Amino acid sequence: MPTYHAPLKDALYLLNDVFRMERFNTLAGFAEVTPDVVEAILGEAARFCEQTLQPLNRVGDLEGCKRHEDGSVTTPRGFREAFDLYARGGWSGLSADPAYGGQGLPGTLSSIIQEYIYSANFSWGLYPVLSQGAYAALKVHASEELKQIYLPPLAAGQWTGTMNMTEPHAGTDLGLLRTRAQPQEDGSYQITGQKIFISSGEHDLAENIVHLVLARIEGAPAGVKGLSLFVVPKYIPDENGNPGLRNALQCGSLEDKMGIHGNATCTMNYDGATGWLIGEEHRGLPAMFVMMNEARLSVGVQGLGISEVAYQNAVSYAKDRLQGHAMGKPRDADSKPVALMAHPDVRRMLMNIKAFNEGARALLVWTALKADELHRSPDAAIRQAADDHLGLMTPVIKGVFTDTGFSNAVQAQQIFGGHGYIAEWGVEQFVRDARVAMIYEGTNGIQALDLVGRKLPKDGGRALKTFLSEVGLFLAEAEKDAALTIYTDPLRKAVDDLQMATLWLMENAVEQPEHAGAGATDYMHLLGVVSIGYMWAMMARVSHENIQNDTGDRSFHEAKLTTGRYFMERSLPETQTHLTRIRSGADSMMALPADAF
């Protein structure tokens, strides 16, 4: 049976040593969370994830969800009790706005806790997380009246949220959506249509479910510019804000999936269900994108969370399993076998995952702090820089973290040998669960196109320029210390590759946009590995200083230096191949006629 221990020490290192959270104390909610308060909150979250959620992970996979004839859905044993504990523990509204039922603590803490939740129980985590996204979209775009009704119970974990976009014929291409909204005299709308792949669409965890639904008001233009966003509750709130009349919507079926069996992935049928417009008519997509961007970052965290729990279990197996002999030592028939850990190729896989996890976690915390700046800073310049950062890094975190999280789960499984393929060891579930994160909330190909086609050229490339100039300043400073050149030299080389790739796209993709599409995925991974490389160089400098000053746990900082070096030697060199591929453009990719496939 898999186990899990939340990597608390790593989070505290990032918050206290690397990003020095006290620098953000002017932001609302930050000053009150001193380092010891942070440690207490994360420690409490860690215990909940380790002791309550993790033991339910395999149960969820084995039992799955059950839909009954009346359309109701039962979640796996224990899921409901865990959700009650979560809601009563105040986790749901931890960083939500105090004006609408939240506790107002830093969103960065919520992001860190999300990793623990996904590590412990990916399927379960999909129930509460969509509430956060629905909360965000309603808060930014809904009327004050809707906010008063819906936000407090979402923040309290009494109600949960969902995101309804996909229809059978329309996944990525939202312009094709057909779900209709008919205006009623009382200002509400009747929503009719079918939505598929709705995570947490129906369940028994909360007293109400708040569906955010993209639909087309009758007479609206075709395409995405005719879409509006509606809030469509399972039970229509009465005048006291309590769940009242059952709305005309139902879970029509549950999908039989490769993984995340513990989450109810629903086909949702809206049969003239009552809904209320969020924001303006025909402006549904920008409103939904508030939820989507929250969700995309959260899906990136899923990649990291699965990578971490798979890693931990592979480490434990690699320490326990005795097999083979150390390389280069003559094998004596009576000599004892050594732990898998002693074999370089096993180490290679563990180090690959470890170096990614710790670097990705840093990038996540950095980005979460930017999100707090975006939402809480009074300074417009800081908000704009934060918005640029989020625009640039959201597709990277979603795309790269989930691609790598999946391949890391596969590597962790490999360390188990044959046992990795057997269900009872639990590691194959990580692989099956992780796979979905590369697909939903916009496939990773869409993330890459969003990065290259929208985020990169936006505002004259300001976001990337800001990133590059920050890395450039860092390098100029860090290169003064000769002890850091094993980090700064590879990083500078990788940044050069990134700049050359960017230049190539600028020079070629305007005339021939297919070159951008052809290079998009490589570009996303190139930016991802450079960003994580930057995180490692930052961490190396911090840990190096800590060792010099004899502060903190020396062996912890030494491990950071070694792991960072491994990343520079083994992961960062991927930039060369990405650059070569990007420069090869679209010609051979697009040349074949369809019937040659």
Catalytic residues: 441
The torsion of the CA quartet 255, 72, 165, 397, rounded to 10 degrees, works out to -70
Q: Which stretch binds its own copies (CB under 8 A): 7-15, 153-161, 179-187, 222-230?
A: 222-230
Contact between 482 and its own copies (CB under 8 A)?
no
Minimum distance of its own copies from residue 304's CB (angstroms): 17
Contact between 187 and its own copies (CB under 8 A)?
no
Nearest to 82 by CA among 124, 126, 133: 124
Minimum distance of its own copies from residue 573's CB (angstroms): 4
- Measured N-to-C along each axis, helices 380-415 and 427-435 cross at an angle, to the nearest 10 degrees, of 140
Buried b (16+ CB within 10 A) or exposed e, 72-111: ebbbbebbbebbeebbeebbbbbbbbeebbbbbbbbbbbb
Which residue in 194, 458, 512, 545 binds its own copies (CB under 8 A)?
512
Residue placing its CB nearer to its own copies in the complex, 380 or 591: 591
Residue placing its CB nearer to its own copies in the complex, 25 or 576: 576
For the chain, the farthest-separated pair of C-alpha atoms sits apart, in whole angstroms, at 88
Contact between 319 and its own copies (CB under 8 A)?
yes
Q: Which stretch binds its own copies (CB under 8 A): 100-108, 155-163, 440-448, 458-466?
A: 440-448
Radius of gyration of the chain (CA): 24
Q: Kindly identify the residues of this chain, within the stretch 350-369, that bind its own copies according to CB under 8 A.
A: 350-351, 354
Q: Kindly identify the residues of this chain, within the stretch 85-114, that bind its own copies according to CB under 8 A.
A: none
Contact between 432 and its own copies (CB under 8 A)?
yes
Task: Give the Cα separation of 337 and 339 in Å (integer).
Answer: 7
Minimum distance of its own copies from residue 459's CB (angstroms): 21
Minimum distance of its own copies from residue 141's CB (angstroms): 23
Residue placing its CB nearer to its own copies in the complex, 73 or 155: 73
Which residue in 35, 43, 223, 241 binds its own copies (CB under 8 A)?
223
Residue placing its CB nearer to its own copies in the complex, 89 or 324: 324
Minimum distance of its own copies from residue 443's CB (angstroms): 6
Helix (H, G, I), strand (E, B) or coil at 142: coil
Residue placing its CB nearer to its own copies in the complex, 472 or 513: 513
- 278 DSSP β-pair partners: 229
Which residue in 31, 37, 99, 258 binds its own copies (CB under 8 A)?
258
CB 19 within 8 A of CB 539: no
How many angstroms separate the Cα of 25 from the Cα of each of 21, 105, 434? Answer: 7, 12, 36
Task: Give the Cα separation of 451 and 459 in Å (integer).
Answer: 13
Q: Which stretch binds its own copies (CB under 8 A): 359-367, 465-473, 499-507, 582-590?
A: 582-590
Contact between 434 and its own copies (CB under 8 A)?
no
Residue placing its CB nearer to its own copies in the complex, 226 or 284: 226
Minimum distance of its own copies from residue 11's CB (angstroms): 17
Task: Give the Cα separation of 509 and 512 in Å (integer).
Answer: 5
**How far, in whole angstroms, is CA 504 from its chain's centroid?**
29
Task: Give the Cα separation of 292 and 285 in Å (integer).
Answer: 10
Q: Kindly identify the residues of this chain, within the stretch 516-575, that bind its own copies according to CB under 8 A.
A: 516-518, 520-521, 555, 559, 562-563, 565-566, 569-570, 573-574
Residue placing its CB nearer to its own copies in the complex, 109 or 579: 579
Tell me whether strands 249-254 and 66-67 are parallel, antiparallel or unpaired. Answer: unpaired
Residue placing its CB nearer to its own copies in the complex, 380 or 592: 592
**Phi and psi (nearest 5°) for 85?**
-60, -40
The DSSP secondary-structure symbol of 187 reads S
Contact between 577 and its own copies (CB under 8 A)?
yes
Nearest to 38 by CA among 112, 90, 88: 112
Binding mask of the shown chain, residues 150 to 169, with x at each position contacting its own copies by CB under 8 A: ----------------x--x
Q: Kindly identify the residues of this chain, within the stretch 320-349, that bind its own copies according to CB under 8 A.
A: 322-324, 327-328, 331, 333-334, 337, 339, 341, 343-349
Residue placing its CB nearer to its own copies in the complex, 310 or 516: 516
Binding mask of the shown chain, residues 441 to 460, with x at each position contacting its own copies by CB under 8 A: --xxx--xx---x-------
Tokens of residue 163, six digits? 């995101």
Nearest to 510 by CA among 443, 591, 456, 578: 456
Minimum distance of its own copies from residue 172's CB (angstroms): 5
Contact between 436 and its own copies (CB under 8 A)?
yes
The DSSP secondary-structure symbol of 326 reads -
Residue placing its CB nearer to its own copies in the complex, 237 or 426: 426
Q: Which stretch binds its own copies (CB under 8 A): 78-86, 206-214, 358-366, 421-429?
A: 421-429
Task: Give the Cα separation of 554 and 173 in Å (integer).
Answer: 52
Which residue in 35, 43, 221, 472 binds its own copies (CB under 8 A)?
221
Which residue in 77, 513, 551, 554 binds its own copies (CB under 8 A)?
513
Helix (H, G, I), strand (E, B) or coil at 562: helix
DSSP assignment of 441-503: SS-HHHHHHIIIIIITTHHHHHHHHHHHHHHHHHHHHHTTSGGGHHHHHHHHHHHHHHHHHHH
Minimum distance of its own copies from residue 347's CB (angstroms): 5
Tokens of residue 461, six digits? 């490339």
Q: How many residues bind its own copies (CB under 8 A)?
A: 103
Task: Give the Cα separation of 119 and 309 in Å (integer).
Answer: 5
CB 139 within 8 A of CB 294: no
Minimum distance of its own copies from residue 343's CB (angstroms): 6
Cβ atoms within 10 Å, residue 219: 8
